[in-house]
A and B are shown apart, each in its own frame.
Chain A
Amino acid sequence: MAVVAEQMPMKVGENAAELKAQARVETLRLGCLTLPGVLLIGVIVLAPIAWLFWLSLRNPNGFTLEHYERLLHPSYLISLQTTFELSFLVTGLCIVLGYPMAYLMTQVRERMAALLMLFVLFPVWTSLLVRCYAWLVLLQRRGIVNNWLFDAGLIDSPLRLMHNFTGTTIGMVHIMLPFMVLPLYASMRAISRDYMKAAANLGASPVQAFWQVFVPLSLPGLAAGIIIVFVLCLGFYVTPALLGGGRVMMWSMQIERNVTYYSDWGAASALGVVLLVMTLAILWLVGRVIGFDRMLGAK
């Protein structure tokens, strides 16, 4: 070896430039691989948003703020309030229903957990419209739910379960539940059973161990679920339109009205921009509270 080293003397750093150039080419090549994705997002997502923003500031005479001024009208403010109320309520109910469900899935045997997962996923594979119409059948005046409650002697006259806030809430919770359960389950499954053993060993009763160790460790999954459900609720259209029967005016329905009834793209665009800004504001707020890397699932 020593002989070879003497035969090929080299100055320190002699080929450094060459090696660096090679590293640069490699980085560039990897960059090229992501190009289609970057272009696609640019064309499909960013460009339309920019166009939307442009439209919301225009009328036939040029620049205007009238589309935004119109949003201060009470009917829009009520719509905004309804949207937030429904989104909060649905998210809350999804937590109450989804957390025990996800917890159950982590406690049962593998085979049982797979079966439960199927129950969670099955609705997601079914058309949204089909599920909404199914709820109409279940919840109508002489529907299955009312008949059952009546036969059981729990009610004297049929309850109003659809074409109102109640029906919309029921439908929305059903649609949104999987989006709560899936991230929760993923984060709960990653919690080693040793943590619960350690808590018990240190003197925590099962209830204390659950609240002081398990729940805090499942918070990243809960945060992810809350964000997904809440943000989806804010812009949701089909279910409130069908099960609300026109009585529950969501923000998204105002957008649709402006486009189809009034053919007013400017006003619809302004509504869209407001929704987008609100959504981003909420994400930013949550990110500030629990940390952005945690929110995006980096930890």
Chain B
Amino acid sequence: MGQISLPITVRNVTKTYGGFVALDNVSLDVASGEFLTLLGPSGSGKTTLLNVLAGFIRPDSGKVLFGENDITLTPPHKRDIGMVFQNYALFPHMTVAGNLAYPLKLRRVSRAEIEERVRRVLDIVQLSGLGDRQVDQLSGGQKQRVALARAIIFEPRVVLMDEPLSALDKKLREHMQIEVRHLHQRLGMTTVYVTHDQREALTMSDRIAVIDKGRFRQIDKPRDIYERPKSRFIAEFIGESCFLPVEVRSGTAAFAGQVLRLAEAPSSANPSQFLVIRPEKLKIVTDRDDAAGLNVFRGRVKELVYQGETLLISVDLPGGHEIAVRQPTSSAAPPPPEPGADVTLGLAPGDTIIVPDES
């Protein structure tokens, strides 16, 4: 299925409901063939934006373009975009094949070609031979695949997905994340994916757009979002972090009087900012050589929590601050300290990130 994908441009889109601002003057560029995830808490405006792209919600102001075409006023049935709904929305009065054939029938594709394309797309989503099934005879995972197949069978240039995996159990969801990713790599359609699951966003996306209260907070590659958060909000929302207050002065940052070696100079000149600490980036250091070149923090072990693949160790720092360090549980790892023991924790300068309180 050689699809020609299209870039999506969103320009200054605003949507309000009464006094509630769902989208606050947002702009976004999605490159042709890109997999972009809209990630945000519920009520952040991510679904509203997706519905604006699909044409189900008319914005108060602003423009949406597919390629060169302004489609802001185009009704949904003329937009030619595939969509996977949260609850699949497979038509219960049609068979699996009937559901898949429906968009093709509307496009007056010949009967022989419809048959051929239904067969091919069932192959792609690994449901060969299930065309005659009724929709209610399918399992959750199968429905998910049919919904996906229906969204791509008419070779749309843009595909939208609204939390399509949220109804599946954890194992299947993780499996489908990889499958959807592979499908995207194979077909190359521009994809906008909505989720509130940060792990899903990190796993699947080319880029993640974090949205909150109707505004984008950061749009970046997954690695940059995780490793280089631009604000405390992002660091808090994505992944697990502890925050230590630091004092910023002329490009340097100090925690409790100790000047830190940084990955990069603080972006904002605001004197009171935060050091982001991801527990898995910290390491317990035992001697002076081990600590060489690291930022070190001394404290006392408060509690150990065994979590299967890792051990989470909470450490009290002087001044009432608390940070956590994550250590693998493998036998090759150093033996964990006892609660109450004094420990020294090291953080590599490359992982030492300073963020302002709000962006």
**Which of A's residues lie within 8 Å of B, judged by CB?**
192, 194-195, 197-206, 208-209, 212-213, 216-217, 219
Contact = CB atoms under 8 A, between A and B. Distances in A.
A202 B106 contact: yes
Q: Which of A202, A208, A212 has the most CB of B within 10 A?
A: A202
A202 B92 contact: no
Contact of B76 (A200, A212, A217): A200
B56 interface: yes
19 contacts: A195-B91, A197-B76, A198-B83, A198-B91, A199-B91, A200-B55, A200-B77, A201-B54, A201-B77, A201-B81, A203-B78, A203-B103, A203-B106, A204-B102, A204-B106, A208-B106, A212-B102, A217-B92, A219-B93
Contact of A216 (B56, B93, B107, B154): B93
B87 interface: yes
List the 10 closest A-B pairs by CB distance, nearest first. A202-B103, A198-B89, A194-B89, A203-B106, A200-B76, A216-B93, A201-B83, A200-B77, A203-B77, A194-B85
Contacts of A200: 55-56, 75-77
B87 A194 contact: yes
Contacts of B83: 198, 201
A192 B89 contact: yes
B150 interface: yes
Contact of A192 (B54, B81, B87, B102): B87
A202 B87 contact: no
Given A197-B76, A202-B154, A203-B154, A213 B106 contact: no
Contact of B56 (A197, A204, A208): A197
Given A194-B87, A197-B56, A197-B85, A203 B80 contact: yes
Given A200-B56, A203-B103, A217-B93, 18 more contacts: A194-B87, A195-B89, A195-B91, A197-B76, A198-B83, A200-B76, A201-B76, A201-B82, A201-B83, A202-B102, A203-B77, A203-B78, A203-B80, A203-B106, A203-B154, A208-B106, A212-B102, A217-B92
Nearest to A196: B89
Contacts of A209: 77
Interface in B122-149: none
Nearest to A198: B89
A205 B74 CA distance: 12
Interface of B: 54-56, 75-83, 85, 87, 89-93, 102-103, 106-107, 150, 154
Contacts of B90: 198
Interface majority SS on B: helix, strand, loop or mixed? loop
A188 to B, nearest CB: 14
A202 B150 contact: yes
Contacts of A202: 77, 102-103, 106, 150, 154
Nearest to B85: A194
B209 to A, nearest CB: 22
Contacts of A213: 91, 93
B85 A203 contact: no
A216 B81 CA distance: 25
Contacts of A201: 54, 76-77, 79, 81-83
A36 B154 CA distance: 59
A204 B99 CA distance: 13
Contacts of A219: 93
Contacts of A208: 106
Contacts of B82: 201
A192 B92 CA distance: 11
Contacts of B102: 199, 202, 204, 212
Contacts of A206: 77
A213 to B, nearest CB: 6
Contacts of B107: 203
Q: Which of A192, A198, A201, A208 has the most CB of B within 10 A?
A: A201
A192 B107 CA distance: 24
A242 to B, nearest CB: 42
A203 B55 CA distance: 12
A190 to B, nearest CB: 11
Given A203-B103, A213-B91, A198 B85 contact: yes
Contacts of A203: 77-78, 80, 103, 106-107, 154
Nearest to B81: A201
Contacts of B54: 197, 201
B314 to A, nearest CB: 33
Nearest to A220: B93
A200 B106 CA distance: 10
A192 B87 CA distance: 10
A213 B83 CA distance: 17
A224 B175 CA distance: 43
Nearest to B90: A198
A102 B90 CA distance: 24
Contacts of B87: 192, 194
A41 B55 CA distance: 55
B194 to A, nearest CB: 15
Q: Which of A203, A204, A208 has the most CB of B within 10 A?
A: A203
B265 to A, nearest CB: 47
